Structure 1
Amino acid sequence: MSEKMTSASPDIADIWAGDQDLPEWFIKAMAAPREESFVEVDGHKVHYFRWGQRGKPSLLMTHGFLAHARCFAFIAPFLAGDYDIISYDLAGMGDSEMIPDCDGSRRAEQMVAIAETLDLFAGPVKPKIIAHSFGSGVALGAMELAGERFGGLIICDLMILRPERLKAHFEAGGGPPGSGRSDRPNKIYPDYETARGRFILSPPQHVQQPFLLDYMAYHSLRRIDEGETHGWAWKFDPMVFHRNADVQESWMDLPQRIVDLPHRLAMIYGENSQLFDGDSADYIRELGGSHIPMIAVPEAEHHLMLDQPLALVTALRSVLALWAE
């Protein structure tokens, strides 16, 4: 069911300006009350959104590589009736500041610090983490660091492949999430349309909800008006590509780290994902992860919130219901 959008949320008005039919569920989700703010962690600003009611069980959400907190902006409102929800931009992405020496350990430490600073550990129920792709690796590190303080982790389509498949993926030029150049500034495009044309997903895929891709693209860019320079550029800091260790080796280690985690864990993935599939689930079980619930979202690829957002909500609700305390 859809309706003509006549009174747009400020978050989406700049994109469609009331000229496009959008699904009613999306319009209502974007109109849900939320807080948008920054919190300072170790001297660096972190941008976040907050839905729900303080005092209710907390959920801490984060996104994939080069994405931003708004990938959960149309997911979180469906959980806000029962939870206090934070979705934040990872360091150097979205509107969050970059931090020095930003490797996986630093990102994990920052995730724990964000939960601490925003009082997510203050209630009687431990906060739970929901993370997508690259953000799931950060969340895994946070659970290894302070898992006893969290109530569980839901991993959404983190790249898990058998070693031979992972090696073939790298050799084919797929590269690990986060590979790229850190030694050059982001290009400035002359207008939004040109910049938008350069927005692509990794891995490339057809998106079943194109308006959600438009939404994510718009908020991945910033307008530049500095002296004689005018145009549009990506928000992310190029230093997010800097690596201090063997990135490929770290991705090889992920499956065993997941299996060895002594805390509550569930995995949700796109049934048609290129980065986690049925064989990935079998591999996790063979390593000793038979205790981990693994849920496939039908007709979804890696960016499952852009393909099947409501099915993703249902999967998240199901896991959270099983974990109710």
Structure 2
Amino acid sequence: MASTDIVDQWAASQDLPAWFVAALDVPREDSFVEIDGVKVHYLRWGKRGNPPLLLTHGFLAHARCFAFIAPFLAEEYDIVAYDLAGMGESEMVAGCDGDERAQGMVAVAEALDLFSGPVKPKIIAHSFGSGVGLTAMELAGERFGGLIICDLMILRPERLFAHFKGSKGPPGSGKADKPNNIYPDYETARRRFVLSPPQEVQQPFLMEYMAYHSLQQVDGGWSWKFDPRVFRRSVNDQAKWLEAPQRIVDLPHRLAIVYGANSKLFDGDSASYLRELGGSHLPMIAVPDAEHHLMLDQPLALVSALRSVLALWDTSTS
């Protein structure tokens, strides 16, 4: 479904800044593509034939975390942001973990013709989605033009073990066999919406926007859009997190990192650790005054950081 008036029911009822309203009003496609019998939800901005970008989100989030970021890139790029399987409005698939999610990312790019032009698509991904993007680059990096990781958890081993001990598990842990709770009304459900890791956001209306699009009406009230089976994943075990820094450093393809300067999952010491492992060649850009959910803290600064990396890559032959 294509639209030239994207200000949705929630946004229309709020007192919102002009930049956000203008971003939502940039024409976009809001649709589904079927891949191996499974529906994948995506949003698309920009002109077909422009350099392609493929965007995805963190754990239990959805493509709309880029709904107010992508429009600022839409004049120059053909942009697809999609919901990972079992999250947002994308259907769950059996055995969806690690390589399967990465293969799914490649399949989305294929299904939406992002590989058909002369310029290779670049991946921009946040948190858990960055892990998917990293694996996709390891599987099919020659087909992509680069990966921008946005605040993936990278910690020295001793800090990682302390993090797991303190939080009882990786970000977004939960029970795969427990059905989602059903709340009697939206307000009750909304009060259960929290960020992981917990943080205050500097743009509260963006928190409200993400919460609204994370919930849906069901029989008996309101519940979450995500499928609880997404918790059946080994990609977040300690071994995988321990391997991630070296995998980043060893990736033979173009990669950059953008992170919140106040993030608890990637900070200055994380950057130093990557350099010690051999990652001095990697651009690592801190977004000032932002935490892990940097698009909810400093969305326009995040846009500037992404523009900077893309501009350098677009003018580089490497």
**TM-score, L = length of structure 1:** 0.94
Task: Return the match for 1:142 from 128, 136, 139.
Answer: 136
Report the Cα distance in structure 1 between the residues aligned to 2:310 and 2:42, rounded to whole angstroms: 22
Residues 260-275 of structure 1: pairs in structure 2 closer than 5 A: 260-275=250-265
Shift of 1:184: 1.1
Tell me the distance in 2 between the aligned counterparts of 1:65 and 1:219.
14
Q: 1:79 aligns with which of 69, 73, 78?
A: 73
**CA–CA separation in structure 2 for the residues paired with 1:10 and 1:191:** 25
Q: Which residue of 2 aligns with 1:277?
A: 267
Which of 91, 101, 111 is the matching residue for 1:97? Answer: 91
- Equivalent residue letter for 2:255: L
- Secondary structure of residue in 2 paired with 1:204: coil
Among 44, 48, 56, the residue aligned to 2:42: 48
Instruction: Return the alpha-carbon distance in structure 2 between the equivalents of residues 133 and 41 of structure 1.
Output: 24
Q: Do structure 1's residue 33 and structure 2's residue 27 form an aligned pair? A: yes
Residues 174-323 of structure 1 correspond to what in structure 2 (within 5 A)?
Answer: 175-225=169-219, 230-244=220-234, 247-323=237-313
Residues in 2 aligned to 1:231 and 1:10: alpha-carbon distance in whole angstroms: 26
CA distance in 1, matches of 2:144, 2:158: 33
Whole-angstrom CA distance in 2 between matches of 1:253 and 1:108:
17
CA contact (8 A) 2:6 2:25 kept: no
Distance 1:178 1:21 in 2: 31
Amino acid paired to 1:207: V
Letter paired with 2:301: A
Deviation at 1:183, TM superposition (A): 0.7
**Residue type at the aligned position of 1:287:** L
Distance (Å, rounded) in 1 between the aligned partners of 2:107 and 2:172: 23
Distance across 2 between alignment mates of 1:312 and 1:287: 26
The alpha-carbon deviation at position 243 of structure 1 amounts to 2.6
Q: Which residue of 2 aligns with 1:112?
A: 106
In the aligned structure 2, how far is the partner of 1:11 from the partner of 1:92?
25
Q: Which residue does the alignment assign to 1:3? A: none
| Structure 1 runs (4+) greater than 3 angstroms displaced | 8-12
Write out per-residue CA displacement over residues 124-153 of structure 1, whole angstroms, 9 at most, x where no aligned residue. Answer: 010000000000000000000000000000
Deviation at 1:176, TM superposition (A): 1.0
Question: For residues 246 and 317 of structure 1, do their structure 2 counterparts lie closer, same or farther at Cα, with a shift above 3 Å needed?
Answer: closer
Matches within 5 A, 1:54-69: 54-69=48-63
Aligned to 1:122: 116
**One-letter amino acid of the counterpart of residue 86, structure 1:** V
Q: Aligned partners of 1:45, 1:313: CA distance in 2, in Å? A: 29
Indicate whether 1:169 and 2:159 are aligned: no
Give yes or no for the alignment of 1:158 onto 2:170: no
Partner of 1:131: 125
Which amino acid is 1:74 matched to? F
Quickly say closer, same or farther: Cα 1:174–1:156, change in 2 above 3 A: farther
Q: Which runs of 5+ in 2 are unaligned?
A: none
**Structure 1: gaps of 5 or more residues:** 1-7
- Deviation of 1:43 after TM superposition, in Å, equals 1.5
Work out whether residues 7 and 21 of structure 2, in 8 Å CA contact, stay in contact via their aligned partners in 1.
Answer: no
Report the alpha carbon displacement of residue 117 of structure 1 after superposing the two structures with TM. Answer: 0.9
For residue 206 of structure 1, report the CA deviation from its aligned partner: 0.6
Query: In the alignment, is the contact (CA less than 8 A) between 2:98 and 2:234 conserved in 1?
Result: no
Q: Distance in 1 between matches of 2:152 and 2:75?
A: 27
TM-score by structure 2 length?
0.96
Cα contact 2:6–2:28 (8 A) shared by 1: no
Aligned residues: 312
Q: Secondary structure at the match of 1:21?
A: coil
> In structure 1, what residue type is equivalent to 2:65?
C
